[in-house]
Structure 1
Amino acid sequence: MSNLKVFFFILLFFLNFTYASAQPYVEKELLDKIGKKYKVFAKKRFYYLQKTLDSVKDANDLEKLDKVNTFFNDVRYKSDIKVYGKKDYWATPWEFLGKDMGDCEDYVISKYFALRYLGVDSKKLFFTYVRSSKFKAAHMVLTYFETPRSEPLILDNNNRKIFPASKRKDLTPIYNFNGESLYKAGKKGTGKKLKNKKTHKKWDELKLNMKRKKI
């Protein structure tokens, strides 16, 4: 076999291996379960999600943030009481997109895990508790910090565009949470780390439901 043929044989093998080893966001077995529970339209939503994620897999963080934020903001808002019969429930991304509805925490959770799948560093992503002057209520958004001292970008289901925190005068940050640590939010940067943080019950419950692939 000529050197050129050997080269193309190796290249073809490598490409096939790379394609075969690429993990989809939702594996086939789980996708089939979602289809059975939520029917064909839900399954199509997950196909479209995969297509959306694939379109920015080699893009920079800002492009990934924009695509993910836009995709999930098309899901309908609905309170936990109306969807789950509970005051406060953190849905898995599969429950959220399968039902095609959820509250602010559910948007944050789904955006977070989609961005983690795309390779965005978990140290840059935070679940941020805020107070909204517009709605006179507590709220949660996903924040992105380029560095621990950076001004965060806000991914919010109540606003389709991503803005730096200084442009969101309607939001007052309270706490930043990243699954490991809790910070008291400041005007800039991730804020002051709080000592003796207890385990976040909802986060632990979510991780367990993710592990069980709860739909």
Structure 2
Amino acid sequence: MLPRFKLIIPIVFGLMSLSWAAPSTSPTIITPAEIEKAKEKYGLLAARRLEAWQKLVEHNINKPERLKLQRVNDFFNGATFTTDKKHWKQDDYWATPTEFLGTDAGDCEDFVIAKYFTLRAMGVPEEKLYLTYVKAIRLKQAHMVLTYFKTPKSEPLVLDNINDRIMKASQRRDLIPIYSFNGDGLWLSKQRGKGKAVDGGTDKLKNWNSLLEKMR
């Protein structure tokens, strides 16, 4: 749950521990050493989830983008939704994908962050993916979803932890878009597109700084 709307800093995707050993190899989204460390901290089941995450990337790296979206959405939506207050004892905490899968729970931001970085690891271009703040009408609260644009002028598809179906934005009448962001900038959103760019809007967010620092 999001207590308030915030401005977002650019995402520096290269900060994530993601590497390619050679053009013919699959990307490593998490190393065996990192999995072992997570096993010690979170337990055996956590290690298995992280191994499944690596296999998800390896097995789908060459699949069509629409199939990548579906498989990533299904994979992460199996986690439990909870609040930061209950899960992390903090009002607002942005978990890394490893923390999210390690504990098998998180809030809407954690679902979106994990999906975003996983799809980027699978080769989906940054300019097609946007982390989008919305107002969830039925829940009567702020919410975050991941939106995907097949082309710059396409109507986006919405990946959401509260609705397993990937739908066009215009079909999600329960959501009112507020703004979206990725590494390229921040936009005031509209129902069928990115919306209007915000000048200098992506230069402040403590949570992103903390998240990226943890990913180093």
Bin of the TM-score, shorter chain as denominator length = 0.7 to 0.9
1:52-91 matches, within 5 Å, as 52-91=56-95
2:106 paired with 1:102: yes
Higher helix share: 1
Long gaps (5+) in structure 1? 1-16
What CA distance in whole angstroms lies between the structure 2 residues aligned with 1:96 and 1:54? 20
Deviation at 1:22, TM superposition (A): 3.9
- Name the % identity: 44
Q: Does the Cα contact within 8 Å between 2:147 and 2:157 map onto a contact in 1?
A: yes
Deviation at 1:44, TM superposition (A): 0.7
Q: Secondary structure at the match of 1:87?
A: coil
Give the number of the structure with larger relative contact order, counting CA–CA contacts within 8 Å between residues 6 or more apart: 2
Q: Does the Cα contact within 8 Å between 2:80 and 2:106 map onto a contact in 1?
A: yes
What CA distance in whole angstroms lies between the structure 2 residues aligned with 1:67 and 1:21? 21
What CA distance in whole angstroms lies between the structure 2 residues aligned with 1:166 and 1:72? 23
What CA distance in whole angstroms lies between the structure 1 residues aligned with 2:212 and 2:117? 11
Change (3 A) 1:148 1:22: closer
TM-score (norm 2): 0.86
Q: 1:173 aligns with which of 156, 160, 177?
A: 177
CA RMSD of aligned residues (A): 1.6
The aligned amino acid for 1:158 is I
Q: Does the Cα contact within 8 Å between 1:68 and 1:114 map onto a contact in 2?
A: yes
Deviation at 1:20, TM superposition (A): 8.8
Q: Secondary structure at the match of 2:35?
A: helix
What CA distance in whole angstroms lies between the structure 1 residues aligned with 2:137 and 2:90? 25
Partner residue in 1 for 2:17: none
Structure (1 or 2) with the larger CA radius of gyration:
1
Partner residue in 2 for 1:159: 163
What CA distance in whole angstroms lies between the structure 1 residues aligned with 2:100 and 2:166? 21
1:170-209 matches, within 5 Å, as 170-197=174-201, 198-209=203-214
2:129 paired with 1:120: no
Q: Does the Cα contact within 8 Å between 1:179 and 1:203 map onto a contact in 2?
A: no
- Count of paired positions: 195
What CA distance in whole angstroms lies between the structure 1 residues aligned with 2:27 and 2:168? 32
